[in-house]
Structures are given as C-alpha cells and as structure tokens.
C-alpha cells in the first residue's frame, strides 16, 4: 500500500486541515511582534461583547480601537493588531457569529468591522434609535424659533431619512417617482434639493 493512501478510519479522524480561521492572518515583516497574554486578559476583563440586544456594538468598537491604539509596533500595521485581538473581544452569540463566517473571508479590519456592525447593529436598530432621537416635542414655554433651532442641530441626512421613513407607503412611492428613485440610493444633497422642489 502506498504511503499516500488513507483508510476510511483516517478520513473519519479530525485533522488540522479542517480547522481554518475566518480572519486571514496578514503578513508581519518584523521579528519583534508579540501579543502579550496581559493584552488579551485586559480585553477579556474589560471589553467583552456577547451580542445581546442591550449592548452597543459601536461603543465596543470605539473602546476596542482606543485600546488597540495604545499598542504600536514598528513595522506592524494597525490592521494586524486589530484582526489578531478582535476574536478575544467576543463571547457567546458574538463568538458564534464570528465562528460562522466563511474561513478566510475576512482580510481587513474594515471588512470585519462592517460585518460586525451589520450583524449587531442592523439598519432597523439604527432607524429606531434615530426615531427615538428625532421624536420631537416642543417644550412648554419654548418659542417656535427655539424649537426649530434645536431640531436643526441634527444633520440634514438624519432629518431627511426620518421624514422619508415616516411617510405612508403611497406618499413614499409618489415621492420616489417625483425625484427619480428610492431615497436609499440617491445622495442626500441631491435628494434634499429634490424634496424642496417637490409639491
């Protein structure tokens, strides 16, 4: 029997070929790069993300990036540090999500952060938070101009998005028809200009 041949039993046994990482390891050109166990412990003790509805993934990413920025290695890109440390941040549902990604499908920090936010901060959640922020009530004793000034502090794109999403479906269709397409695909400035001219 040739050395390359394997028995059925051999195929049934676990092998390292089946263990693949979802995050592609970027090339490191320096010899002095090492992630110390204390760095991982600090993440696990202070920054862990479970993936629950009550957690704010944006806040976790912000804190994680601040943490990673405290560690700099000559000749090592920020992406390398972030991609290597990020799995230590996740537990429970969040870790299961990362583990479910296609092996080798994540090659940059931006890709990972985008996928993470799409999963744990979907558009529906973002819209609900914006609605909560923009639900507007004039305070008793506040003048019209004071109230309007407060409302105008929100960026134009948020005001436009809330307005558009709160229209009845038939009004939204009419608006889309009047300005040549759905809001989600047109630039905000162009859409706002179109909205001003639409009667």
DSSP 46-96: H--B---TTS-HHHHHHHHHHHHTT---TT--HHHHHHHHHHHHB-HHHHH
Is residue 190 included in any domain, yes or no? Answer: no
Do 72 and 145 reside in the same domain of the chain?
A: no
What per-residue confidence (pLDDT) applies to 188?
Answer: 52
Do 48 and 86 reside in the same domain of the chain?
A: yes
Is residue 193 included in any domain, yes or no? Answer: no
Do 20 and 116 reside in the same domain of the chain?
A: yes
Rounded to two decimals, what is the model's pTM? 0.59
Do 142 and 164 reside in the same domain of the chain?
A: yes
Domain count, the chain: 2
Do 133 and 67 reside in the same domain of the chain?
A: no
Do 49 and 98 reside in the same domain of the chain?
A: yes
Is residue 184 included in any domain, yes or no? Answer: no
- Please give the C-alpha separations between residue 101 and each of 2, 86, 116, 122, in angstroms, as whole numbers: 37, 14, 11, 17
Q: What is the pLDDT of residues 28-59, one digit of tens each?
A: 777 777 888 888 898 889 899 999 988 889 89
Do 114 and 129 reside in the same domain of the chain?
A: no
Do 113 and 84 reside in the same domain of the chain?
A: yes
Range of the domain at 155: 123-179
Is residue 156 included in any domain, yes or no? Answer: yes
Do 111 and 18 reside in the same domain of the chain?
A: yes
Q: Which of 86, 120, 154 is the last residue of a domain?
A: 120
pLDDT at residue 123 is higher than 60: yes
Is residue 56 included in any domain, yes or no? Answer: yes
**Could you tell me the maximum CA-CA distance found in the chain, to the nearest angstrom?**
93
Lowest average pLDDT, out of 22-31, 37-46, 92-101, goes to: 22-31
């Amino acid at each position: 029997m040739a050395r390359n041949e394997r028995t059925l039993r051999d195929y049934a046994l676990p092998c390292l070929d089946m263990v693949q990482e979802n995050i592609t390891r970027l090339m490191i050109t320096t010899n002095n790069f090492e992630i110390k166990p204390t760095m991982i412990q600090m993440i696990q003790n202070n920054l862990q993300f479970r993936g629950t509805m009550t957690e704010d993934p944006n806040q976790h990413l912000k804190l994680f990036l601040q943490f990673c920025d405290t560690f700099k290695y000559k000749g090592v890109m920020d992406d390398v540090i972030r991609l290597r440390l990020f799995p230590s941040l996740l537990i429970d549902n969040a870790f299961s999500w990362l583990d479910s990604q296609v092996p080798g499908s994540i090659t940059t920090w931006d890709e990972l952060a985008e996928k993470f936010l799409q999963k744990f901060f979907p558009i529906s959640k973002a819209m609900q938070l914006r609605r909560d922020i923009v639900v507007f009530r004039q305070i008793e004793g506040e003048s019209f101009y004071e109230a309007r000034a407060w409302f105008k502090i929100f960026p134009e794109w948020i005001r436009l998005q809330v307005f558009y999403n709160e229209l009845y479906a038939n009004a939204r269709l009419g608006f889309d028809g009047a300005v040549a397409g759905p809001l989600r695909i047109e630039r905000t400035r162009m859409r706002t200009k179109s909205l001003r001219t639409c009667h």
